[in-house]
Structure 1
Amino acid sequence: MLNTKSSLNLANDGIPKLFFNYFIPMLLAMLAMASYSTIDGIFVNKKLGDDAMKAIVVVWPLFPAMMACSLMFALGGASLISYYLAKGRAHIARAIFSSIVYLLLPLSLIFGALGYMYANIVIDFFAQNLTPNVHGMAVDYLRGTCVGLFGIILHPVLDMCVVNDKRPRFAMFAMFLGAICNVIFNYLFLFVWEFGIIGSAYATTLGHIIGSCVLLWHYVEPKYRALMLGFFNCNFASKIRISLPFICEKKGELYFVKVFDWKLLERAIKYGSPYAASEASVGIVMWLYNQILKDTGGESVLAVYSAILYAGFNFFTITMALAESIQPIASFNYGMRLFSRLKEVLRFYIYVALGLSCVLYALFFIFSDFIISLYLKDLELKEQSKVALNIYSIGYIFMSLNLVIALYLQALQQALASFIVTIAYTLAFIIVLLPVMTYFYGIMGAWIAYPISECCALCVSVGVLYYVTKRMSR
């Protein structure tokens, strides 16, 4: 059974023990988050067909741009929070968390309103010459997402800070509850009430909002928490404490305080900016793939790319959970100045990332027929997608190592080094290789470009890591 108590000793417990205590809950939570997208794809394809999948892939480049701001504060803030908790300065950690939420909530409401009002203009800018049916569904999907954008933006911030406050099981519970609600709402909105593609967007946003509301319970100040529990019937409250103790027991140190500090926000931005750049870069790459594939193979190839993204999302999610689980461990040990232990942590994670990604690729290769059939109906498109997936997914093996190195450097507050690694594996090589490979080898070249770019990025990552390690050892 996982030890999720606050007695977990990040400085002295064995690295494998810490790994499982953070990776397993984070993996389950992130798989639950991934289900928001994968479940959408399965339901949308079964109900609305391949045109709907094309519409979603048109909108997808916008999501990384939306999430860039959220992840910048979630990961940058989480790194600082873990650092200050290790230093015994919880009041600063609370100020960082509170300032982030107080900034993101109004910003997400403003961007959501703008996205809803100007959805037509946004879709026309990102994808020209779409058929009227695909264009209309893309606009509907974007508007449905913008309605609950505040939940999508706040959810990762609340989740990551709960994990760094040593309550990964509670974060997992909230994520699973939101994911289950997403499945239920997808079925109701698409198959029972037949809202169309906007119903799938509503289901996703409602799932995130519910998950965020559950996570907010963690951040209620202890004295108010006891007061709120007092309103419940004693027997009912006791049953909750017995069945779900991680809900009722306050084991963390974070809660909302009446502080808004721009200087702390600037520090969170500094350390989280590599991930904002990463998310923004992903959006640029998706847009570039959409344009090049559409120009080279027509609108039908967008459905193939959509299926690859949906299928690969689970691969990416698992490797991302692995990489993110290093962050609280490395940040804490960096705060304690345990440099020899940091090297052991990195070595362990590199071996695990390589082994896990190879196993995942083998599973994807074996079950590619089944995976693709979840997202496409047309037989010809299925065959194209199977070949494309087997080639494209090789890149995830190299990407897993790049992710671990980037998150490790970020945990050590090496913002510039982490930024260089992040840009290398998300943008720098692929924007050069994609048009060149497609020009010489057609659609097949587009799929080959991704693993080659990730391999090149890994060379950069290793070089940057070597430089930082040497500099810190002096």
Structure 2
Amino acid sequence: MARISSSELGNKPIGKLLIKQSVPASIGILVMSINILVDTIFVGNWIGSIAIAAINVVLPVSFFIAALGMAIGIGGSSIISRALGADMDEKALRTFGNQISITLLVTISMVIIGLVFINQLIPAFGGKGDIFEPAKIYYRIVLYGVPILALAMMGNTVIRAEGKPKFAMVAMIIPSVGNLIMDYVFIHILDWGMEGAAWATTGSYVLCLGYILWFFMSKNSELKVKWEHFKLKLNILREIGALGFVTLSRQAVVSVTYLLLNNILFELGGESSVTTYAIIARMLMFALFPVLGVTQGFLPIAGYNYGAEQYGRVRESINKAIGYAAGVALLVFVCIMLFSTEIVSVFTKDEAVIASTPSAMRWVFAAVPIIALQLIGSAYFQAIGKAVPALLLTLTRQGFFFIPLILILPKFYGELGVWISFPLADLISTIVTGYFLNREIKNTLVETESAS
């Protein structure tokens, strides 16, 4: 992946920059999404539809742990980047050492708690009825790999902070490919069932961390930590926590929505409804990868030009990013509307699931063409360093609107109420984001540009 110098961000055409920045980000997201998608297909066809539901029950735990590692990584990486840029190598090393220490302390504690309360936590996350036993098997094995996952997520962001995006992208590809190979061996050939699926997932974490450890121990990395760097420093931990809070909050809300949806759907339609949501959730991760890639590509362009006070280029980057993302989202929408039945049939042979899922999937994706505005709008505030509005707008869809909707609408419309909550939350959050983005453009970009 070619790196883009800061001067190019301020001089080259916005359209070309967006494409050049978005493609690498999209590749990383695509590889991870394909892994999740194919993994679900393997599990559904080789173990059964209940296995898909069981894995979906455990996902909130995995998501939250991954978010924890990512939050510590993003918070520390910001410090490391600035420290390296200012030739403060010792601060960079101590920050990295503190990241490793706090990640291990927190995640090992969570593993112990998770294993002690396993029989209470799985039903709480929606693992009831026939889902309980396979979810318990998967949960226990995956939990062993939680510290490894968190360290891998944290390490990946630090690699990016060192300016080594190629290595960071490879670190995302290795576990994805490894997981699929191990799925085939453990489930299809050795017939280990849920245990095979769980060990394949945990094994993929080990592969990822192994590659990341190799990177930091090789000459490719500038960060060569010593034992003294692992000693926790309160001022560093505070700075890591403050900078990583936005990421942790966003992912924590995602985990909460999984928890609520699994429980609500189980009460409304049993195991098949949980399986339906599991399939739709995988498609959301996979189908929207290019939209998320455009969002990631937009961030450095907007941030650089805002800092350089080139407000005309900032507005152009907003408009083009929304246009590109909306175009891709519209294509996704059309494909889902036309081929939802064929898509579902790839995941499972369960006739009840195949009959009910296409309609639900169409409802969930109904407002996808407009989400570009919400994603780019919230990303803009993050790019210019306004953490509070970035956090609030990021949480509008999942936290402020979606959760209340799924708690209220099913009481009146049953399972349909769950599915229509998705487009309603998308619509309302897009309107809110559009209002604040438009106000910010007028008050900051247009007026400041006119005054100068």
Aligning the two structures, in what range does the TM-score lie when normalised by the shorter sequence?
0.7 to 0.9
1:334-373 to structure 2, matched below 5 A, reads 334=306, 336=308, 338-373=310-345
1:254-333 to structure 2, matched below 5 A, reads 256=225, 258=229, 261-333=233-305
Per-residue CA deviations over 1:330-375 (Å, capped at 9, x if unaligned) read 4444555554443333232222111111112222223322321222
1:206 paired with 2:203, answer yes
Contact kept? 2:62, 2:146, Cα under 8 Å? no
Distance in 1, Cα, partners of 2:214 & 2:5 = 17
Q: Which runs of 5+ in 2 are unaligned?
A: none
Distance in 2, Cα, partners of 1:339 & 1:80 = 27
Contact kept? 2:290, 2:325, Cα under 8 Å? no
Distance in 1, Cα, partners of 2:339 & 2:93 = 46
- Paired letter, 1:314: F
- Paired letter, 2:117: Y
DSSP-derived class of the 2:414 partner: helix
Aligned to 1:178: 175
Contact kept? 1:311, 1:372, Cα under 8 Å? no
Give the CA deviation at 1:136.
0.8
Contact kept? 1:83, 1:331, Cα under 8 Å? no
Distance in 2, Cα, partners of 1:266 & 1:192 = 48
Q: CA RMSD in A?
A: 2.9
Distance in 2, Cα, partners of 1:387 & 1:108 = 39
Give the CA deviation at 1:148.
1.0
Per-residue CA deviations over 1:185-216 (Å, capped at 9, x if unaligned) read 11111122222212212212222331233234
| TM-score in terms of structure 2 length | 0.87
1:415-430 to structure 2, matched below 5 A, reads 415-430=387-402
Contact kept? 1:25, 1:169, Cα under 8 Å? no
Aligned to 1:162: 159
Report the more deviating stretch, 382-391 or 31-40. Answer: 31-40
Distance in 1, Cα, partners of 2:116 & 2:92 = 37
DSSP-derived class of the 1:377 partner: coil
Per-residue CA deviations over 1:384-413 (Å, capped at 9, x if unaligned) read 111111110134444443222223322322
Distance in 2, Cα, partners of 1:97 & 1:408 = 28
Contact kept? 1:271, 1:410, Cα under 8 Å? no
- Paired letter, 1:382: I
DSSP-derived class of the 2:24 partner: helix
- Paired letter, 2:138: Y
- Paired letter, 1:214: Y
1:74-223 to structure 2, matched below 5 A, reads 74-78=73-77, 88=86, 91=89, 96-127=95-126, 130-131=128-129, 133-220=130-217
Aligned to 1:239: none
Give the CA deviation at 1:469.
4.4
Aligned to 2:385: 413
Distance in 2, Cα, partners of 1:100 & 1:285 = 28
Contact kept? 1:27, 1:318, Cα under 8 Å? yes
Give the CA deviation at 1:416.
0.8
- Paired letter, 1:68: A
Distance in 2, Cα, partners of 1:311 & 1:101 = 33
Report the more deviating stretch, 154-163 or 415-424. Answer: 154-163
Distance in 1, Cα, partners of 2:209 & 2:9 = 27
Distance in 2, Cα, partners of 1:93 & 1:427 = 34
Per-residue CA deviations over 1:18-44 (Å, capped at 9, x if unaligned) read 333332222111222223422321111
Distance in 2, Cα, partners of 1:38 & 1:367 = 16
Structure 1 residues 79 and 20 mapped into 2: Cα distance closer, same or farther (>3 Å)? farther
Aligned to 2:405: 433
Give the CA deviation at 1:276.
1.5
Structure 1 residues 7 and 297 mapped into 2: Cα distance closer, same or farther (>3 Å)? closer
Distance in 1, Cα, partners of 2:197 & 2:7 = 40
Aligned to 1:450: 422
- Paired letter, 2:157: M
DSSP-derived class of the 2:419 partner: helix
Structure 1 residues 5 and 440 mapped into 2: Cα distance closer, same or farther (>3 Å)? closer
Structure 1 residues 320 and 161 mapped into 2: Cα distance closer, same or farther (>3 Å)? farther
Q: Which runs of 5+ in 1 are unaligned?
A: 226-249
1:381 paired with 2:353, answer yes
Give the CA deviation at 1:142.
0.9
Task: Give percent identity, aligned residues only.
Answer: 25
Distance in 2, Cα, partners of 1:5 & 1:410 = 20
DSSP-derived class of the 1:394 partner: coil
